[in-house]
Amino acid sequence: MTKFYGTFSVATAVFLLAAMAACGSDSDAEPAPTPTSSEVSPTSAAPSTPGTPEESAASAAEVAVGDYYALTDLLLQDDAVSLDRLKEVAISTQLSAQKNFLMTERAAGTQQRGDTKIAETKVQSVSLDNSDPKAGRVPSVTIDVCWDVSAVDVVDASGKSMVPADRPDRGWTRLTVANYTWVTDPDTGWRVAGGEDLEKTPCAG
């Protein structure tokens, strides 16, 4: 069984929930981004002052990743916040899977305390191919994220911690960040479209 930790929300690092089973349940979801041969692979995260279009896309995607983790934290911390806000940070299969996951945890009375920290990011590839958005061929950035949940607790409806003693405080997740509105919004149209947790040594503290 695949274990998805940082892909969905920090709570998955606690529950070891295979939430990808929920993917694809939304028939109206945007098609997943399609990799293309035009991708370039930076060896490190994009610089703070973008130069090329690829660097600009990488920087914008990294901002989107930060927004994604912040909002998914908030949605598990406060069930008064509408799940419709997920559309601000996620799209395609990631949107439907995250929404289904959060609905389940809210129904169970689960609540997160504390915030996820992004310890490190590494841009792996950038593609600006926007040749067929309906088929998922849109600009996309692949980013490896090292997340830190050492300051996070997750409690059940009675307020009891659900965090096991052997929970990993840090881990890596590879996210695909896509822009389905590239033509009209190349800067802020980026959303997390998919992801998978990586079996690799956590980043240093």
Angle, helices 53-77/92-107, rounded to nearest 10 degrees: 10
Q: What is the pLDDT of residues 98-113, one digit of tens each?
A: 999 999 999 999 999 9
Tokens of 171: 């881990």
Query: Span 19-40, mean pLDDT?
Result: 49
- 50 has pLDDT over 60: no
Class of domain 12-25+55-198: alpha beta
Q: Which residues pair with 176 in a beta bridge?
A: 142, 194
Q: Which two tokens stand for residue 27?
A: 């028939």
**pLDDT at position 33, please?**
74
The set of residues, in sequence order, having a beta carbon less than 8 Å from that of 185 and lying 6+ positions away, is 179
Percent of the chain residues past pLDDT 70, beyond the cut: 76
| pLDDT of amino acid 115 | 96
Q: Does pTM surpass 0.85?
A: no
CA angle 115, 68, 5 (to 5 degrees): 65
Q: What is the mean pLDDT of residues 150-168?
A: 94
* Per-residue tokens: 196: 């998978």
